[in-house]
Amino acid sequence: MPFGLTNAPTVFMDLMNRVCKPYLDKFVIVFIDDILIYSKTQEEHADHLRRVLELLKKEQLYAKFSKCDFWIREVQFLGHVVNEKGIHVDPAKIEAIKNWTAPKTPTEVRQFLGLAGYYRRFIEGFSKIAQSLTSLTHKDKKFEWGEKQEATFDLLKQKLCSAPILSLPDGCEDFVVYCDASKQGLGCVLMQREKVIAYASRQLKVHEKNYTTHDLELGAVVFALKIWRHYLYGTKCTIFTDHKSLQHIFDQKELNMRQRRWVELIGDYDCAIKYHTGKANVVADALSRKETTKRVRALQLTIHSELPNQIRVAQQEALK
């Protein structure tokens, strides 16, 4: 396939998906020309590797030996490092984040948020923390970089550089979702056997700010089911919420059109909605309500480009 064609990646990805379809999400993950084979034991891995190589030979697809890695316990894949302990942020990306200078234009803010947003699953309350930066990307918003934006920028860098290790899902059972909503946003946590699999949060859209508390809490459940559909669809799961009436959502007779759509979507999942007090549901509650944390001023000092000139002017005035 020639390089440079607009549809080349899409066509090639479709080919790889069709070729590897029997093994996808069982022990194979494919992204364009990258094939990741994963197994629990060495015996399983030998069998999986043999099957994939035979499949490639049958379909006349060739892999360059010098670009292949076999029998490794840790792999870098799509900006992540995956090993037996879990999923980490790629150290190379962390180094790039450390050296990232403060944005000076909306475009540079979008570039930083694009990188940070890719790793949002590692950051608790990402949408709340990034709110002051996100507002700078709006077309009708004047670009003003102040102390609040600087603190948010530094906090995001700090959290990305110290991102936790997320556990890998073990099978498709015992998933638990904690959801919470507030007037500031939606937050949820996916867990399995008391281990965190992923965090998720987002800001409210303009029209959602007019929703009632009941609709916001129900919307948080729908948000979690949609974003983690690949984990939760077709398996039993438990959803905890601090809004007690959601336990009986399927028994309520008077529902508006939006609620009916959401209830129909929830009905497609084999999930049980249970009540969990807000005080006990601390993680999801923090995700939905967390404001931008103020940094301790003594920890870090950002020197702006104009500071040396200001120092020289002050010294000249002092000598007069």
User: For 286-300, how does the pLDDT look when each residue is reduced to its tens digit (9 = 90+)?
Assistant: 555 544 344 444 444
> pLDDT at position 297, please?
41
**Amino acid identity at 2:** P
> pLDDT at position 318, please?
61
What is the average pLDDT score of the chain? 82
Task: Report which of 209, 185, 78 is spatially closest to residue 125, judged by C-alpha positions.
Answer: 185
Which CATH number describes the domain made up of 175-289? 3.30.420.10
**309 backbone φψ class: left, alpha, beta (φ>0; ψ -120 to 50):** alpha
> pLDDT at position 291, please?
47
Answer yes or no: is pLDDT of 304 > 80: no
Task: Report which of 223, 188, 227 is spatially closest to residue 208, judged by C-alpha positions.
Answer: 223
Calculate mean pLDDT across residues 27-50: 90
Answer yes or no: are the C-beta atoms of 213 and 183 closer than 8 Å. no
In words, the CATH class of domain 102-161 is alpha beta
Residues ≥6 apart with Cβ < 8 Å to 123? 116, 129, 156, 159, 160, 163, 199
**Amino acid identity at 210:** N
Q: Is 301 exposed, middle or buried (0-12, 13-18, 19+ CB in 10 A)?
A: exposed
**Amino acid identity at 64:** K
Alpha-carbon gap, residue 221 to 201, rounded angstroms: 12
For the entire predicted model, the pTM comes to 0.59
Can you give the residue ranges of every domain in the chain? 7-71, 102-161, 175-289
Buried b (16+ CB within 10 A) or exposed e, 138-162: eeeeeeebeeebbbbbebbbebbee
Calculate mean pLDDT across residues 229-258: 87
- Show the DSSP H helices in the chain as ranges: 8-19, 42-58, 91-98, 106-118, 126-129, 131-134, 147-161, 213-227, 229-232, 257-267, 282-289, 307-319
Domain range 7-71, its CATH number among 3.30.70.580, 3.40.50.1000, 3.30.70.270, 3.40.50.300 = 3.30.70.270
Answer yes or no: are the C-beta atoms of 34 and 76 closer than 8 Å. no
> Chain-centre distance of CA 255, in angstroms?
32
Q: How confident is the model at residue 277 (pLDDT cuts 50, 70, 90)?
A: confident
Calculate mean pLDDT across residues 99-116: 88
Answer yes or no: is pLDDT of 196 > 90: no
Question: Do 102-161 and 175-289 share a fold?
Answer: no
Q: Quick one: what percent of the chain has pLDDT higher than 90? A: 16
Q: How confident is the model at residue 47 (pLDDT cuts 50, 70, 90)?
A: very high
Encoding tokens for residue 215?
């609709």
Alpha-carbon gap, residue 195 to 16, rounded angstroms: 33
Answer yes or no: are the C-beta atoms of 204 and 227 closer than 8 Å. no
Residue of higher predicted confidence among 21 and 317: 21
Alpha-carbon gap, residue 102 to 111, rounded angstroms: 11
Calculate mean pLDDT across residues 156-176: 83
Residue 24 pairs in a beta bridge with 28
Alpha-carbon gap, residue 31 to 23, rounded angstroms: 14
> pLDDT at position 52, please?
92
Q: Of the ranges 70-79, 130-139, 287-296, which one carries the lowest mean pLDDT score?
A: 287-296
Q: Between β-strands 75-77 and 80-83, what pairing exists: parallel, antiparallel or unpaired? A: antiparallel
Task: Report which of 87, 127, 95, 135 is spatially closest to residue 220, judged by C-alpha positions.
Answer: 127
